């Protein structure tokens, strides 16, 4: 799995009528007691109290007996990747990368051509004929994949396909009448619902842990296509690819990541919704790859300053920073400075919503976009393309301070510079001071537009800035990246 870093705490209180909670240090359980009558003669035998289920807490034993046999251990072997260099003290640099890197790395033995990578993960059987779901990072680069069931049967698995963007892989083992799971509906999950994970943390097969749903539709760095389910279920290396169950014993997610500053579980775990994973399975079986729609634009988040620059009532939508030449977005008339507010009537609250919403649709489908341009909303219909999905702008606009002037010295691009920039007109920044410098504009940047209107002369830049209100949105090209920078003018 990967990992992340935050602290999580779970507080639970149960109250009803005159029931109180008594904490017994010897038995380490909480049990309800009657506050009105606590006569010793009426007390239940200690042994019975210690074994009785606590009111309000779920008992997962029946669920585990029923679904546990469908959860499998996955062992992989292959040539080892170069060792990952971490920071001093051995702590992971990226808190989301722990599970990807948690694979034993033994040194080469006598006569070995190269060191071997061995690892362990989890998975679950989704159909009696032997299809298994797991994480892509569990099987990526593996030369052999072995699936072991709880009854100790082992099968060599074939990797039918894997999708890096969602981290979902589909395996096939040769078996019949195998135990399999039932699929649940992640949309019906509520924050606070109990859930359970079964997997092989550190190689301990069929380990069961439980917790609650902490949040839904979480967007994580570099995972724009997955609306993660966040839980406080304890998951660790080896839980990767294992199922997350609701109380009905239905799979609602695939455990994929944790957030940790130490490399171990810290109370924040993330699961891929099972409907996302099942779409990957269907596409891999039908097409051999995952099909996603594409509009071929570069987007970035709409900050408070950018929302004000474009006249939006609040920060929302996905700001178009660049449009690929010849792509579906250009064909539909999209241009830098447009803010995409909705897709087929579904609101785009933040920029990271858009890649997932577009990617869920098939190439060739038409979608209706609500686009904010020139201070008003308009509808634009786009026919989706068939290549890898949206690319989010590599750099977000940095924070800015108030200033009284723009503070830029610019000149038109020379013919050679214009050719290197792809033939687009613009102004190269010779010097950046004041508000522009504090906003992040620097020497060598190329200014392409102000508030979505192209600029190719110094006079045009002055006119647009003089006509603006309290801030401007400057479209900047830096190397191969394009992004808007909000610059306050007062």
353/217 Cα distance (integer angstroms):
10
**What φ, ψ does residue 365 adopt, rounded to 5°?**
-75, 155
Tokens 């892989």 belong to 169
128/109 Cα distance (integer angstroms):
40
Q: Are strands 207-220 and 168-172 parallel, antiparallel or unpaired?
A: unpaired
- Nearest Cα residue to 145 out of 183, 154, 197: 154
> 201: which DSSP letter?
G
44/51 Cα distance (integer angstroms):
11
Give Rg (Cα) of the chain: 28
216/11 Cα distance (integer angstroms):
19
140/142 Cα distance (integer angstroms):
6
Q: How many CB atoms lie within 10 A of CB 89?
A: 5
Whether residue 167 lies in the annotated active site:
yes
DSSP three-state, residue 355: helix
Host H or E run for residue 434? helix 434-439
Residue among 122, 163, 167, 283 flagged as catalytic: 167
Residue among 122, 137, 180, 445 flagged as catalytic: 137
Q: What is the token pair recorded at 52?
A: 């009785």
Q: Are strands 391-392 and 297-301 parallel, antiparallel or unpaired?
A: parallel
b/e for 319-355, b at 16 or more Cβ within 10 A?
bbbbbbeebbbeebebbbbbbbbbbeeeebbebbbbb
Q: Where are the alpha helices (DSSP H) in 102-180?
A: 136-139
Count the helix, strand and coil residues of the chain and give each as a percent rounded to the nearest 5: 20, 35, 45
CA 207 to the chain's CA centroid: 25
Residue among 240, 260, 269, 351 flagged as catalytic: 240
Decide: 131 and 281 in contact? Cβ < 8 Å: yes
Sign of CA dihedral 456, 459, 464, 469: positive
Q: Which residues are catalytic?
A: 137, 167, 240
């Amino acid at each position: 799995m990967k990992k992340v870093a935050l602290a999580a705490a779970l507080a639970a209180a149960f109250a009803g009528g005159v029931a109180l909670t008594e904490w017994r240090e010897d038995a380490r359980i909480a049990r309800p007691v009657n506050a009105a009558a606590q006569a010793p003669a009426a007390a239940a035998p200690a042994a019975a109290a210690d074994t009785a289920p606590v009111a309000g807490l779920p008992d997962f034993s029946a669920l585990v007996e029923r679904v546990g046999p469908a959860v499998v251990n996955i062992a992989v072997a292959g040539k080892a990747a170069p060792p990952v260099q971490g920071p001093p003290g051995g702590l992971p640099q990226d808190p989301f990368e722990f599970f990807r890197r948690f694979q034993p790395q033994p040194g080469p033995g006598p006569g070995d051509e190269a060191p071997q990578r061995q690892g362990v993960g989890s998975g679950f059987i989704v159909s009696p004929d032997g299809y298994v779901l797991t994480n892509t990072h569990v099987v990526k680069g593996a030369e052999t994949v072995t699936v072991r069931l709880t009854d100790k049967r082992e099968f060599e698995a074939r990797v039918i396909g894997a999708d890096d963007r969602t981290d979902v892989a589909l395996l096939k083992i040769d078996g019949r009448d195998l135990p399999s799971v039932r699929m649940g509906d992640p949309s019906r999950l509520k924050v606070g619902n109990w859930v359970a994970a079964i997997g092989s943390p550190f190689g301990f097969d069929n380990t069961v842990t439980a917790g609650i749903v902490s949040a839904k539709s979480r967007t994580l760095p570099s995972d724009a296509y997955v609306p993660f389910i966040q839980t406080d279920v304890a998951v660790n290396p080896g839980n990767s690819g294992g199922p997350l169950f609701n109380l009905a014993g239905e799979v609602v997610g695939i455990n994929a990541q944790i957030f940790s500053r130490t490399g171990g579980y810290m109370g924040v775990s993330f699961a891929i919704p099972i409907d996302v994973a099942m779409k990957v399975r269907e596409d891999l079986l039908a097409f051999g790859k995952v099909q996603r729609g594409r509009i071929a634009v570069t987007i970035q988040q709409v900050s408070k300053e950018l929302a004000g620059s474009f006249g939006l009532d609040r920060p929302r939508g996905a700001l178009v920073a660049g449009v690929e030449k010849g792509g579906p977005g250009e064909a539909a008339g999209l241009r830098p400075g447009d803010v995409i507010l909705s897709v087929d009537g579904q609101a785009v609250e933040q920029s990271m919503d858009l890649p997932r919403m577009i990617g869920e649709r098939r190439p060739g489908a038409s979608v209706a976009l609500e686009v904010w341009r020139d201070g008003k909303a308009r509808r634009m219909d786009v026919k989706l393309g068939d290549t890898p999905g949206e690319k989010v702008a590599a750099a977000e606009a940095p924070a800015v301070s108030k200033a009284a002037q723009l503070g830029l010295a610019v000149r038109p691009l020379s013919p050679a510079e214009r050719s290197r920039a792809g033939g687009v007109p613009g102004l190269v920044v010779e010097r950046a001071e004041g508000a522009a410098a504090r906003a992040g504009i620097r020497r060598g940047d190329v200014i392409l537009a102000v508030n979505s209107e192209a600029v190719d002369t110094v006079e045009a830049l002055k006119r647009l800035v003089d006509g603006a209100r309290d801030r401007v949105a400057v479209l900047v090209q830096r190397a191969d990246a394009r992004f808007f920078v909000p610059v306050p003018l007062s």
